[in-house]
Homo-oligomer: A and B are copies of this chain.
Amino acid sequence: MPAPAATEVDRPADRTADEAADQAVARTWTIREIADEFRVTHRTVRHYEELGLITPERRGTTRIYHRRDRTRLALILRGKRLGFPLEEIRTIIDLYDRPRGKASQLEYVLGQIDERRTDLEQRRRDLEDALTELAEFERRCRTDLDRLG
């Protein structure tokens, strides 16, 4: 998996100007704008659309992005940082805005949620282990360094 650097920013830097406008007119964005803000290329954004992860409005041939699309993009990028493949991310996102259905539907969704959580908790264990080992390793490095200085 092509994993992204964790230094990525998934929120735009300058929100001050945006926020005022958001309240006033329900701002929209062009593909270049959200691509830049989320530190990805427009090609990447379109790729996510091809996979059905985002579905921006179309004004003629031009794509118009709403707040909803930004939320989704943030979810996608976080999923990527967590190492999930895009297809899996899609099923997760689809869960999020599935309309409140019948009981059987909800049961299904709850099952999916449980799978997801099991998965995430495994990752958390891996992560804690890695951090613990890293700390231990750093400690050894420092004592070695002290011995030299």
Binding site for B on A (CB under 8 A): 1-3, 5-7, 78-85, 88, 95-96, 100, 102-103, 106-107, 109-110, 113, 116-124, 126-127, 129-131, 134-135, 137-138, 141-142, 144-145, 148-149
Contact = CB atoms under 8 A, between A and B. Distances in A.
Contacts of A78: 126, 129-130
A2 B113 CA distance: 21
Copy tally for this chain in the complex stands at: 2
Contacts of A135: 117
B145 A103 contact: yes
- Top 8 nearest A-B pairs (CB, nearest first) are A1-B1, A83-B83, A6-B122, A3-B83, A1-B2, A6-B119, A1-B3, A106-B145
A96 B137 contact: yes
A107 B134 CA distance: 15
Contacts of A6: 118-120, 122-123
A81 B144 contact: no
A18 B88 CA distance: 37
A94 to B, nearest CB: 13
Given A1-B1, A102-B148, 16 more contacts: A1-B2, A1-B80, A1-B83, A1-B85, A3-B83, A6-B120, A6-B122, A7-B119, A7-B122, A79-B130, A81-B126, A82-B83, A82-B130, A83-B84, A113-B137, A120-B127
